[in-house]
Chain A
Amino acid sequence: MTTQTNTGAPVTVRRYSGSARLNHWVMAISFVLLLLSGLSLFHPSLFVLSGLFGGGGTARWLHPWAGLVFAISFMGLFFRFFALNLPERTDIVWLAKLKHVLTGHDEYLPEVGKYNAGQKLVFWIQAILVPVMLITGLCLWAPGLAWMEQTLGFKASIDQQRLAALIHAMAAVLAILVWIVHVYAAIWVRGTIGAMTTGTVTGGWGWRHHRRWLREEVVAHGTTEHPRVTPGE
């Protein structure tokens, strides 16, 4: 095995379909809108962020509507990727070697499928936080309260609304922390962003970070007519 075989462009591997990427970007854009409009109300020092929306009034009404778009798009991605995020034995091994993860020594990590344990954690933590933010968000929103009273027969008391505000803010902080980890990982691990822009990654990226997934892709699609694994010219 030599290290000098690198002639020509690397192979590319398809990671996300167009609809998955569209779904992801709808969710990502609505999340950023939620983050900016939500944080502008979170602390006086962040109120300036509401200027991005043209004022606090607009940030206030936009936020819950963006929340609905976000919750629906999250649900789309949840069902799309649910099965691939189910826990397995290697996840524990991977997590036990978190030190190597953080130092970028992927060679000491077990071969993982489409998602590693870190990605699965992001998935499942958000899967808990999104419904929490949705329910508490509805309790803070006049149309949401009216809707719950009409269709569910549930009238939130003022004390429950206070609690909803506290929980919403805390869940939002947690979701933003998870989001920071998610975005940072995408930037730090070079070659990842392409998965969500063009939908492809290089074979080397797959080999380094998701080797079992790469092997499965090669076996499943390597020789088909529209190969999902494309050798570069």
Chain B
Amino acid sequence: MTTFQPLDVVRRSASVTTSPAPNRDVEVAKLIDVSKCIGCKACQSACLEWNDLKEPVGVNVGVYDNPHDLTPNTWTLMRFTEWENPTSGNLEWLIRKDGCMHCEDPGCLKACPAPGAIVQYANGIVDFQKANCIGCGYCVKGCPFNIPRISQVDHKAYKCTLCSDRLALGQQPACAKACPTSAIMFGTKAEMVAQAEKNVSILKTRGFDKAGLYNPPGVGGTHVMYVLHHADQPQLYAGLANNPRISPIVEMWKGVSKYAGMAVMGLAALVGVAHYAIKGPNKVSDEDEAQAKRLAEGKS
């Protein structure tokens, strides 16, 4: 496997300048073929183990999802859906490994107000930099997939790193390594797109004629992609976004409202200075004081 150099930064949150863009032919991707997933959660365990995380023992509420949601410790979560296919009448068990999609156009990074708390490497990975994170939770609002979680312990944001630390050493992500069925694959983005085409065509021969690759263009494509047997209905898979994109409210908040806000506040301060320079202070005259004195002494 190629050694990926994940340390060249192409995007940096809340920063005007980034380092000159290095070449990006080493873009990586993780491909998750949900049709091959058996729901064993080996990936979930491998993630906890490699990242040295612990999830407190939870409560069973009658579903397989454990824990019930992503947390500051659980960066990847198997989400289980039971779906009755109306055309075949079959009960289908749809299992999706949820986690950060490593968007090419990351909403978390766009929303982040802390310089360098979120970066995107040349290989496409979106990574949180703990030292710069201030715990404001703006990334949660920016993300179209509802992924980042803020720790109530250290007030920092957490999510999947795509094992950028392992990649730097020529290792593949822990989840991909642990998966017993090769439902999780890892390589360059081009390799993974080609792999997906093969898997999709196999699924089509098995009767899943709507099978396809989930690499949503609304966020510029992602560096975690799914092969779905029902690619026409991504929402079946525990509410996977149909056509994710950075919310227009976030675009407005982080776009026009900032420029307009800075402009009007600066302008108001300038108008104040100019008014003072032109008019000078509005002073109380001796006449005013004299009139007041007369009033106070009951003479007017």
Instruction: Give A contacts to B, CB under 8 Å.
Output: 3, 5-6, 10-11, 13, 40-45, 47, 50, 55-57, 59-61, 102-104, 106, 140, 142, 158-159, 161-163, 165-166, 169-170, 173, 176-177, 180-181, 184, 187-191, 202-208, 214-215, 218, 222, 229, 231
Q: How far is the CB of A178 from chain B (nearest CB, A)?
A: 9
In the complex, identify which listed stretch (B55-63, B177-185, B187-195, B267-275) lies at the interface while the others stay far away.
B267-275
Q: Which residues of A contact B152 (CB under 8 A)?
A: 142
Known: A61-B155, A161-B141. A208 touches B284 (CB 8 A): yes
Is the pair A205, B279 in contact by a Cβ cutoff of 8 Å? no
A-B contact pairs, 12 of them (CB 8 A): A3-B286, A3-B290, A45-B262, A47-B113, A59-B134, A61-B155, A102-B279, A106-B282, A166-B252, A188-B281, A204-B288, A208-B284
Question: By the criterion CB–CB under 8 Å, are A162 and B141 in contact?
Answer: yes
Write the nearest CB–CB distance from A187 to chain B, whole angstroms: 8
Chain A residue, CB-CB nearest to B262: A43
**Tally of contacts, chain A with chain B, CB under 8 A:** 168
Partner pick for A180 among B14, B272, B288, B297, CB 8 A cutoff: B272
Task: Tell me which of B134, B284, B287, B298 contacts A56 (CB under 8 A).
Answer: B134
Looking at A57, A159, A162, A191, the one whose CB has the most chain B CB atoms below 10 A away is A162
Contact assessment for A166 and B285 in the assembled complex, using a CB-CB cutoff below 8 Å: no
Decide: B288 and A177 in contact? CB cutoff 8 A: no
Pick the interface stretch among B40-48, B80-88, B253-261. B253-261
**Chain A residues in 8 Å Cβ range of B268:** 177, 180-181
B93 interface residue (CB < 8 Å to A): no
A140 to B152, CA, bound (A): 15
Within 8 A of A (CB), among B97-143: 113-115, 132, 134-138, 140-141
Do B292 and A10 have beta carbons less than 8 Å apart?
A: yes
Q: Once the chains bind, are B294 and A5 in contact (CB under 8 Å)?
A: yes
Contact of A204 with B276 at beta-carbon distance under 8 Å, contacts A42-B261, A163-B249 already known:
no
Cross-chain contact A173 with B269 (CB below 8 angstroms): no
Known: A42-B113, A202-B292. 11 other contacts (CB 8 A): A11-B293, A41-B138, A60-B135, A158-B146, A165-B141, A173-B261, A180-B265, A180-B269, A204-B284, A204-B286, A231-B293
Query: Given the complex, which residues of B lie within 8 Å of A229, measured CB to CB?
Result: 296
The residue on A at minimum CB distance from B268 is A180
B150 within 8 A of A: yes
Chain A contacts for B114, CB-based, 8 A: 41, 47, 56
Chain A minimum-CB-distance residue to B291: A207
Residues of A within 8 A of B137 (CB): 140, 142
Q: Which residues of B contact A207 (CB under 8 A)?
A: 284, 288-289, 291-292, 295
Query: Shortest beta-carbon distance, B240 to chain A, in Å?
Result: 15
Complex: chain B residue closest to A168, CB-CB: B253
| Distance between Cα atoms of A165 and B219 in the complex (Å) | 21
Asked if residues B275 and A42 are in contact (CB atoms below 8 Å), the reply is no
